[in-house]
Amino acid sequence: MKIDVLQSTGCAKCLREMPELRAAAQAVDPGVEWHELDILQAIDYAVELGVLRPPAVAIDGELVFPSLPSAEALTAAMRARLGA
């Protein structure tokens, strides 16, 4: 599973919450591909996904969260995909 977090540089909320989100994702899928992308560096990808503003989270190339989710919401979405 691949998770892309599109964020802006210096996002205080992202810096504060990213370690917990990454740890939660790794607990669900130890082999998860976790990528933290600067939205300005990945603008074409962000537009392709339909991101209107950062932070946003895509799972396997699909925009799942248009804003930064809680760890619980992220793990629930991951479990749903693993079970599908």
The rounded distance, in Å, linking the Cα atoms of 16 and 77 is 21
Q: Are strands 2-7 and 33-38 parallel, antiparallel or unpaired?
A: parallel
- pLDDT confidence of residue 58: 98
pLDDT digits (tens, 9 = 90+) for 32-78: 999 999 999 999 999 999 999 999 999 999 999 999 999 999 999 99
The rounded distance, in Å, linking the Cα atoms of 62 and 3 is 9
Average pLDDT over residues 21-26: 97
pTM of the predicted protein model: 0.92
- pLDDT confidence of residue 84: 58
**Can you say whether the dihedral through the CA atoms of 4, 42, 44, 55 is positive or negative?**
positive
- pLDDT confidence of residue 13: 86
Report the C-alpha dihedral over residues 21, 26, 27, 31, rounded to 10 degrees: 160
